[in-house]
Amino acid sequence: MEATKRKLPITRPSMMMFQPYKQNIKCFLIVTALVVGLILSVQLILMIK
Amino acid sequence: MHGLAISDIIILFAYFALLIVIGILSHKKVTNQSDFYIGGRKFGKFLIMMQQFGAGTSNTHPILVAGAVYTFGMAGIWYSWLYMLFTPIMFLLLPIIRRMRIYTTADFFDLRYGKGIAPFFSISSLASVSVATGTILIGMGQVVEGMTGGKIPLNTTVLVAGVVGLLYGCIGGMVAAAFADCIQGFLIVALSFMLLPPMWVKVGGFEGLHNVLPPEMFSLAMPSSPMADPAKTIGLFAIFMLFINGMLSNLAEGTVQTLQVAKDESTLQWGYLFGIMLKRVCTVGWAFVGLFSLVIWPKLDNPELCFGMAAKQFLPTGFSGLMVAAMFAAGMSTVSALQVIASAIFTRNLYAKYFVKNKPDSHYLLVARLAGLALVVAGTITAYQFASVTKSVEFWWKLTAMIGPAMLIGLFFYRGNSWGAWASIVVSFGIWFYLDRYLGPTDPKWKTVWYQSAVYIPAAVVSYFVVSLLTKPEDENKLARFFARLNTPVGQEQVLVEAGLEPKEG
């Protein structure tokens, strides 16, 4: 009975690997924006004559 | 004296002394293998940030980027930025990597695929770390040679840097390497940007640059035209392939091991992000050094010398000594980090597993330190086998990228097995060898990373899936243990213990 109540880990690839989802998605977008922003700003600086 | 002022030399020696002190102080924190290899998994955000910035910012990067921009125009920045596009994906992978709860990257292969592939990875990893060490030592020699007008020869630099890096790495392990990374990180940031104002004035600002250089030199992606030489054009195709190759190579080199130092997942994500972004910003400074150099010294035989020459000519007295010191430190901190990575792989995954088992922790700690010594010697010998830093770095990228698919796909594809992993490595290596040896000499584009990887990476992925599906799956219990770790956040190890899958965190 005790064994069935016990929280067992998932033993195959699953979306649990990406938990906590909300935080990860939010941060993923921030990081993407930072990367794109850096590339665009450098290209803009290079266009200054 | 030696092309440096007395004040420069004093600064240089003070720096070496400081590094040795760091090594000795860190020594007190190293009481077992875990402390030596992964800093006892206690690093906070700041240390991880500086470790990621420092370990990823060896002295080869300013040389590589400035040299590539000198040759290709601003698109050469992708020689260092190639990892940047991978950052958002890496941000999601970091918790998974930390949840592996391993000491070395070879442990991953041991957990996921079984013993056959882990020893192979360990041996190839030792070889690739030797190439990397050699590259860094050569790069350091080139900068110092450039800065001192050849008065401090390459051989002297390689010897001094090898010995000092070895000393504090051997004594202090990953903790010493991380603290040295902090110091060199700050120095490299400051000194890289200090070069820009005087060079800017010399070339006459953006107006001066645009008057002398053709427009394509200012594009981050060189527009390809039918007339352009594909071997000398970094267009969108080349950037894409550098990104894919970089992502796979990043996983298979020591990164997975260095990320095990974090105390928790969130700390790792934010520390890593800030460290990596800091490096990307610095890269812009190095790229401009290359662009300015092209205007100031338009006909350099070896573009890789331009960063050192700029530092010598445009930094005030005292600061050039500091720049030489920073270059030494950048190289040595990376050498010592690589040495810790390789000594861990040698000791845990080869020595303790196949040769001398069940000895006390102190025995393996001593073996790890001695293995580090052997590695630096091997790296120094390797250093002389490569004609240039760029060629050597490219070779390392390719070697590690061939192992990457087995790591990345193995995280998500349950049916993937050792045979698939072997097939992906063997097929990609065979294809690379054919392209490099037989097509490369007649058509130079087949010598470039982007053209080669466009063939060997898809071939590796396809052979991984096909062979895995056609052969016997891995043992279910083994896979259960591996995937249970990936699904269980750091700090919830009790769940694994209660399920009988893992007794304690490593």
- The 10s digit of each residue's pLDDT in B359-385 is 999 999 999 988 888 887 887 777 666
- Exposure string for B338-366, b = 16+ CB within 10 A, e = fewer: bbbbbbbbbbbbbbbbeeeeeeeeeebbe
Q: With beta carbons under 8 A apart, name residues in chain B contacting A15.
A: none
Chain A closest CA to B54's CA: distance in Å? 19
Query: B428: helix, coil or strand?
Result: helix
CB contact (8 A) between residue A24 and residue B92: yes
Express each pLDDT in B302-338 by its tens digit.
Answer: 888 888 888 888 887 777 777 777 777 777 777 878 8
pLDDT of residue B228: 58
Which segment, A28-37, B170-179, B191-200, B249-258, is predicted with the most confidence on average? A28-37
**Res. A6 pLDDT band, cuts 50 70 90:** low
Shortest CA distance to B290 belongs to which of B275, B309, B271?
B309
Between B179-188, B214-223, B378-387, the lowest mean confidence (pLDDT) is in B378-387
Express as a percent the part of chain B with pLDDT over 70: 92
Looking at the predicted structure, is the pLDDT value of residue B109 above 80?
yes
Q: Are B122 and B345 in contact (CB under 8 A)?
A: yes
Tell me: pLDDT of B502 over 60. Answer: yes
Q: Once rounded to an integer, what is the mean pLDDT over residues B92-107?
A: 93
* Better-scored residue on pLDDT, B57 or B158: B158
CB contact under 8 A, A42 and B412: no
Q: How far, in Å, are B96, B132, B134, B327, B340 from residue B174 at the CA level?
A: 22, 17, 20, 20, 6
Percent of all residues in chain B with a pLDDT value above 90, rounded to a whole number? 37
User: What tens digit of pLDDT does each residue of B433-468 get?
Assistant: 999 999 989 998 898 888 999 999 999 999 999 999
- The predicted structure's pLDDT at residue B95: 94
The answer, yes or no, to whether residue B506 has pLDDT greater than 80, is: no
- Contact A38/B87, CB-based, under 8 Å? no
Q: Kindly state the tokens that stand for B318.
A: 């005292």
A7: nearest CA partner in chain B: B495
Residue A2: band (very low, low, confident or very high) from pLDDT cuts 50, 70, 90: very low
pLDDT-based confidence at residue B230 (cuts at 50, 70, 90) = low
Q: How sure is the predictor about A3, in pLDDT bands with cuts at 50, 70 and 90?
A: very low
Residue with tokens 């992993």: B421
Phi, psi for residue B336 in degrees, rounded to 5? -70, -35
pLDDT of residue A28: 92
Over range B248-256, report the average pLDDT.
Answer: 82
| A10 to B411: CB separation less than 8 angstroms, yes or no | no
B504 confidence band (pLDDT: 50, 70, 90): low
Residues with Cβ within 8 Å of B199's Cβ and at least 6 positions away in sequence, in order, are B288, B289, B292, B293, B296, B310, B314
- Mean pLDDT (chain B) is 85
Of B334, B348, B306, the C-alpha closest to B396 is: B334
Give contacts of B277 with chain A, Cβ < 8 Å. 34, 38
pLDDT tens for B117-146 read: 899 889 888 877 777 787 777 777 877 777
Read off the pLDDT of residues A10-39 as tens digits, 9 standing for 90 and up.
899 999 999 889 889 998 999 999 999 999
With CA atoms as reference, the chain A residue closest to B416 would be: A13
Judging by beta carbons within 10 Å of its beta carbon (0-12, 13-18, 19+), is residue A22 exposed, middle or buried?
Answer: exposed
Q: What is the pLDDT of residues B462-491, one digit of tens each?
A: 999 999 999 999 999 999 999 999 999 999
Report CA dihedral (B391, B396, B397, B403) to the nearest 10 degrees: 150
